Amino acid sequence: MGRPNWAPDEIDIERPSVARMYDYYLGGSHNFAVDRAAAQAMVAAVPEAPLMAQANRAFLRRAVQFLVDAGVRQFLDIGSGIPTVGNVHEIAQRAAPDARVVYVDVDPVAVAHSREILAGNDGATIVQEDLRHPERIVDHPDVRRLIDFDRPVAVLIVAVLHFVPDDDRPAELLRTLRDALAPDSWLVLSQASADGRGDDERAEAEAVYRRTDNPLWIRSRSELTALFDGFELVEPGVVWVPQWRPESPESAEEAERSAFIGGVGRLGG
Amino acid sequence: MPGGPAGGGPAAWPATGAGAATSGAATFAGAWAKAVSGTSYLPMTQAQLEALLCRLAQDLAAALLAEPFDLRAGQRVGAELVAAHIASAEGLGRTVEVVQLRLVRDLGLVADDVEDRMARLLAAVATGYARALRDRTLDEQESIRRAAMTARAEAERALRASEARFRHQATHDPLTGLPNRALFTERLAAAVNTPGRAADRVGLCFLDLDRFKRINDSYGHQVGDALLTMVADRFRRALDGHLVARLGGDAFVVLIENTGGTRDVIAVAEAALAAVHEPALVAGHEVAVTASVGLVERQVAGTSPGELMRAADCTMHWAKSAGGDCWELYDAERHHRQLARQALSAAIPAALERGEFFLDYQPLASLRDGRLIGVEALVRWRHPQLGVLRPDSFIDLAEETGLIVPLGGWVLAEACRAAGTWSASGGAAPFVSVNLAVRQVHRPGLVQEVRTLLRHTGLPPERLQLEITESTMMSTAEEPVRALRVLADLGVRIAIDDFGTGYCNLAYLRDLPVTELKVAGEFVAGLRTPEARADERILASLVSLAHALDLTVTAEGVETAGQAERLRAIGCDAGQGWHFGRPEPADRILARLS
Ligand SMILES: C[S@@+](CC[C@H](N)C(=O)[O-])C[C@H]1O[C@@H](n2cnc3c(N)ncnc32)[C@H](O)[C@@H]1O
């Protein structure tokens, strides 16, 4: 029986959530049996899955550090997930206590968890919204309360775009966000890529994620680069995430195993 | 105390000194960091990780050499690893391996029973680590479950809120925000049908704005809508405590529960009328608003919501017919009369078809010699249930509904047909006088209809008289006058019926093709008493004026010989009334003639 269209979505924890699967890859325990089962199936198909997640999370950390160093004090993290360890506000506020961070996620459990973690933090909050409604995000009163769109903002959409198929017109979504931003704002994107991988592996990974609410939409490096439209990519451009400004040359070795590509762009004046 | 030599232990730092130990610890920390990297996400830079592990390596070294051997130091290191998110089964395995293989060597540690101590130290690290990891796992499980519960509760709340919103939408009028018919019906049903409330009394106040359509038409719908919203707000304020609903259009209804009698509903009606009355400025227009209100109030027992609504609605229409801007209270008898009238008028078409109507005729006599000069055709209805009905019980209805056109047409045709068959031995046969309703006169086909009838029945035009009322002629339309003129030119007699009761303007008669005035019975009634000089004088001047205009005068309602005598003396031409004969079938009147 379908729900009437005025009724909000149900919370179905019998279905694996990509947010909690990701937490499992990172070594967290903020997950349920269904999530672990799905994550384990993913690991069976793609043994490096946990490494990929860790590499992505490390990219996020370096990107945020880079942005704080560049003077950015406002962060809009869309698809922020379950705050496990190494959250954006922890990184940003450690380096700059006045930094403001607004998290956005569609997953109601992730949102509830974030709210608990952020209780008492005046500089950070969470909003339940969908990347596919960027206008609602930028108009949201809680977003407006913390973020001044007349000043530079870093928009982070990290490990999320592979859940946004081309049918949802990601380029348009990003354009809407871009139009709300002041010059010298930033965009950080990363997502799963199958460049250089076999079709089998890709098919199996896709099969696992079809069990969740978020099927996978793999993109190539050139496709992701195109999504930076209007932004000027900083060095080294869109690369395997371990290659993005690594802390040491060794940490960028075998970077393609991470299966994640990403980059950071700056909005021209 | 990281990095510093332990003060006085059984074993000593190697002779190479603290510097070498520190560099050894760094080498070891590098290997350790490499071993644990990738076991779980480590939220720090490589340098931070190595610094941390370097400190822990020195703690381990100190613990390994400490005297007495302290298990808690090893456990602390295990817990610290977990706290730093080096927190996975693999993380522990790799740690045990790297410490076992390299700690003593890299840091150049020397002790007698180092193997023994190492085993116990690793056991302590593993214990501390496992304990901390278990606590952390449980904490995380708890927090994610709590989050799921919160999210569920939030979703439930949102569901209830949207259900409430949905219910509100389904039960309220979007324009005014008032409850709608659905909610009203529900509440009325509850008020009437709830067990144990039979003895209660309940009232309805049915409100309809007067001439609202005109406001809508002349100012536009936006102004109309703004007005409705404003009126709704006023009702809400003025009728606080009662359920006020908008039924649609400009109709509102108020439910008044637990009334003590009609005065309670009357009070509501008056409050509502007063609220409507306040001057209204809508979109820059000063709009005068009034309403018609129907009230019903009765005991719950024996009534139903539908009955109450019908009664209130019907009563509201009484207020409308009374001109609006007032209330009316339901009256069962009046309602039943109205229903009976409605039933009667609905039955007219079928009655015409079945031939239930027939005509009687009343004599019109010359006042000079008492001779019968004409008869007035009077319609009767032989109703299968109600018996013979006189015209006053159904002509008004027929006029209201427009059924007067077919009915009057039948009367005219039947009268012509009958009169065509009358022949008088000796003098002229009497003319037949037929009443024409306003609508009949205003119909375009009247002249043709009369011509055809005369041709078919052979009735000479001068033996047909058409009686019209003054009001028929008061309209400014030229067409009826022209039609009557054509008929008059044909020779048909035209009489003004009931003259003197209405507008009574003799001047206009000059321009009309009228041949006769029938003076209303009430003037004649005044002649009954010998002292009624005033009435007599009015009548006398009326007659002389009519004669001056070349009109004959017939007096209606002549009941006594005395009246007839005085009318004759005044100069009145003819009379009609009981004195000359009651309405009867034609053959009886004709029989008397011969
Ligand atoms: C793999 S996690 C990424 C977490 C974090 N950004 C990181 O990279 O470490 C993906 C998150 O995106 C969220 N997500 C997926 N589709 C989304 C959408 N359309 N709008 C907002 N969030 C979305 C999921 O609920 C999940 O929490």
What is the predicted pLDDT for the residue at B529?
65
* Contact between B163 and A7 using a beta-carbon 8 Å cutoff: yes
Closest to A79 measured CA to CA, from A168, A28, A149, A18: A18
Judge whether residue B54 has pLDDT over 70. yes
Judge whether residue A1 has pLDDT over 50. no
What is the predicted pLDDT for the residue at B2?
39
- pLDDT class for A186, splitting at 50, 70, 90? very high
Residue length of chain A: 269
Helix (H, G, I), strand (E, B) or coil at B314: helix
- pLDDT class for B240, splitting at 50, 70, 90? confident
| B255 CA from centroid of ligand 1 (Å) | 54
* Contact between A6 and B165 using a beta-carbon 8 Å cutoff: yes
Distance in angstroms (rounded) separating the CA atoms of residues B394 and B382: 12
Pocket test for ligand 1, best of A131, A143, A163 (most atoms within 8 A of CB): A163
CB B152 within 8 A of CB A11: yes
Domains of chain B (ranges, CATH numbers): 18-141 (no CATH), 181-330 (3.30.70.270), 405-581 (3.20.20.450)
Judge whether residue B18 has pLDDT over 80. no
pLDDT digits (tens, 9 = 90+) for B347-399: 999 999 999 999 999 999 999 988 899 999 999 999 999 999 999 989 988 98
Residues of B in contact with A20 (CB under 8 A): 144
Phi-psi region of B204 (alpha: psi -120 to 50; beta: other; left: phi over 0): beta
Judge whether residue B305 has pLDDT over 70. yes
Closest to B436 measured CA to CA, from B379, B489, B482: B379
User: Is residue A226 domain-resident?
Assistant: yes
Judge whether residue B128 has pLDDT over 80. yes
The string over B518-529, giving b where at least 16 C-beta atoms fall within 10 Å of a residue's C-beta and e elsewhere, is bbbbebbbbbee
- pLDDT class for B475, splitting at 50, 70, 90? low
Judge whether residue B552 has pLDDT over 90. yes
Q: Which of A26, A30, A31 sits opposite B41 (nearest CB)?
A: A26
Tokens of B529: 């008493």
Judge whether residue B3 has pLDDT over 50. no
- pLDDT class for B422, splitting at 50, 70, 90? confident
* Contact between A7 and B144 using a beta-carbon 8 Å cutoff: no
* Nearest CA-CA distance, residue A169 and chain B, Å: 28
- pLDDT class for B12, splitting at 50, 70, 90? very low
| pLDDT, mean over chain A | 90
Distance in angstroms (rounded) separating the CA atoms of residues A226 and A92: 28
| A155 CA from centroid of ligand 1 (Å) | 13
What is the predicted pLDDT for the residue at B103?
93
Mean pLDDT score, A65-78: 97
- pLDDT class for B159, splitting at 50, 70, 90? confident
Q: Poorest-confidence range of A18-27, A63-72, B109-118, B409-418?
A: B109-118
Chain A residues near any Cβ of chain B (below 8 Å): 4, 6-11, 13, 20, 26-32, 50-51, 53-54, 57-58, 61, 82, 84-86, 90, 108-113, 115-116, 247-248, 251
Q: Is the CB of A75 under 6 A from ligand 1?
A: no
CB B556 within 8 A of CB B524: yes
> What is the ipTM score, two decimals?
0.89
What H or E segment, with its residue span, contains residue A75? strand A74-78
Cross-strand partners of A156: A77, A188
Residues of A in contact with B42 (CB under 8 A): 54
* Contact between B144 and A31 using a beta-carbon 8 Å cutoff: yes
Distance in angstroms (rounded) separating the CA atoms of residues A184 and B232: 54
Judge whether residue B436 has pLDDT over 60. yes
Mean pLDDT score, A42-66: 92
Burial of B407 (0-12, 13-18, 19+ CB in 10 A): buried
Q: How many CB atoms lie within 10 A of CB B361?
A: 26
Q: How many CB atoms lie within 10 A of CB A4?
A: 9
Place of tokens 């762009």: A265
Judge whether residue B566 has pLDDT over 50. yes
* Contact between B155 and A54 using a beta-carbon 8 Å cutoff: no
Q: Is the CB of A81 under 6 A from ligand 1?
A: yes
Q: How many CB atoms lie within 10 A of CB A78?
A: 23
* Shortest CA distance from B165: residue in chain A: A6
DSSP B584: B
For chain A, the farthest-separated pair of C-alpha atoms sits apart, in whole angstroms, at 56
The string over B306-321, giving b where at least 16 C-beta atoms fall within 10 Å of a residue's C-beta and e elsewhere, is eebbebbbbbbebbbe
Q: Poorest-confidence range of A13-22, B467-476, B482-491, B504-513?
A: B504-513
Judge whether residue B290 has pLDDT over 80. yes
* Nearest CA-CA distance, residue B100 and chain A, Å: 24
* Nearest CA-CA distance, residue B64 and chain A, Å: 30
Mean pLDDT score, B109-124: 89
| A104 CA from centroid of ligand 1 (Å) | 8
| A248 CA from centroid of ligand 1 (Å) | 28
* Nearest CA-CA distance, residue A127 and chain B, Å: 13
What is the predicted pLDDT for the residue at A10?
62
What H or E segment, with its residue span, contains residue B591? helix B586-593
Place of tokens 């969470």: A126
What is the predicted pLDDT for the residue at B244?
96
Distance in angstroms (rounded) separating the CA atoms of residues B178 and B207: 14
- pLDDT class for A5, splitting at 50, 70, 90? low
What H or E segment, with its residue span, contains residue B287? strand B285-287
Segment 29-88 of chain B within 8 Å of chain A by CB:
38-47, 85, 87-88
User: Is residue A14 domain-resident?
Assistant: no
Q: Is the CB of A256 under 6 A from ligand 1?
A: no
Q: How many CB atoms lie within 10 A of CB B471?
A: 12
Judge whether residue B15 has pLDDT over 50. no
Distance in angstroms (rounded) separating the CA atoms of residues A37 and A43: 10
Q: Whose CA is nearest to atom 16 of ligand 1?
A: A163
* Shortest CA distance from B161: residue in chain A: A7
Mean pLDDT score, B205-226: 89
Tell whether B144 lies on the interface with A, counting CB pairs under 8 A: yes
Judge whether residue B561 has pLDDT over 60. yes
- pLDDT class for B11, splitting at 50, 70, 90? very low
Q: Which of A27, A57, A85 sits opposite B88 (nearest CB)?
A: A27
Cis peptide before A50 (omega within 30 of 0): no
CB B192 within 8 A of CB B246: no
CB A151 within 8 A of CB A142: no
* Nearest CA-CA distance, residue A29 and chain B, Å: 5
Cross-strand partners of B360: B378
* Contact between A27 and B151 using a beta-carbon 8 Å cutoff: no
What H or E segment, with its residue span, contains residue A59? helix A49-69
| A253 CA from centroid of ligand 1 (Å) | 27
Site from A15, A29, A89 to mutate, B interface, most B CB atoms within 10 angstroms: A29
Q: Whose CA is nearest to atom 13 of ligand 1?
A: A79
pLDDT digits (tens, 9 = 90+) for A188-240: 999 999 887 778 877 887 887 877 777 888 899 999 999 999 999 999 999 99
Residue B202 or B545, more confident: B202
Mean pLDDT score, A242-256: 88
| pLDDT, mean over chain B | 88
CA-CA-CA-CA dihedral for A83, A88, A94, A98, to nearest 10: -120
Closest to B260 measured CA to CA, from B187, B193, B194, B200: B200
Distance in angstroms (rounded) separating the CA atoms of residues A167 and A190: 19
CB A11 within 8 A of CB A106: no
- pLDDT class for B503, splitting at 50, 70, 90? low
User: Is residue A212 domain-resident?
Assistant: yes
Site from A11, A14, A241, A254 to mutate, B interface, most B CB atoms within 10 angstroms: A11
Tokens of B396: 């008004």
Tell whether B142 lies on the interface with A, counting CB pairs under 8 A: no
CB B382 within 8 A of CB B358: yes
Distance in angstroms (rounded) separating the CA atoms of residues B217 and B223: 10
Pocket test for ligand 1, best of A12, A21, A60, A105 (most atoms within 8 A of CB): A105
Tokens of B236: 């809400």
| A98 CA from centroid of ligand 1 (Å) | 25
The DSSP code sequence of B336-403 is: HHHHHHHHHHHHHHHHHHHT-EEEEEEEEEETTT--EEEEEEEEEEEETTTEEE-GGGTHHHHHHHTT
Distance in angstroms (rounded) separating the CA atoms of residues A14 and A3: 18
- pLDDT class for B9, splitting at 50, 70, 90? very low
Q: Which residues contact B192 (CB under 8 A, 6 or more apart)?
A: B202, B300, B303, B304, B305, B308
Pairs of residues, one from chain A and one from chain B, whose beta carbons lie less than 8 Å apart = 89
The strand pair at B431-435 and B464-469 is best described as parallel
Helix (H, G, I), strand (E, B) or coil at B458: coil
Extended strands (E) in B393-450: 431-435
* Contact between B148 and A85 using a beta-carbon 8 Å cutoff: no
User: Is residue A115 domain-resident?
Assistant: yes
User: Is residue A220 domain-resident?
Assistant: yes
Q: What is the phi/psi pair of residue B481, to 5°?
A: -65, -40
Residue A163 or B219, more confident: A163
C-alpha of A252 from chain center? 21
Q: Per the structure, how many domains does chain A have? A: 1
Give this prediction's pTM.
0.64
CB A109 within 8 A of CB B151: yes
Tell whether B385 lies on the interface with A, counting CB pairs under 8 A: no
Structural domain containing residue A144: 53-267
Single-letter residue type at B206: F
pLDDT digits (tens, 9 = 90+) for B23-37: 889 999 999 999 998
CA-CA-CA-CA dihedral for A25, A29, A31, A34, to nearest 10: 70
Mean pLDDT score, B496-520: 78
What is the predicted pLDDT for the residue at B528?
65
Mean pLDDT score, B569-588: 92
Q: Which of B42, B47, B162 sits opposite A7 (nearest CB)?
A: B162
CB B198 within 8 A of CB B300: yes
**Residue A129 belongs to domain with CATH number:** 3.40.50.150
* Contact between A58 and B41 using a beta-carbon 8 Å cutoff: yes
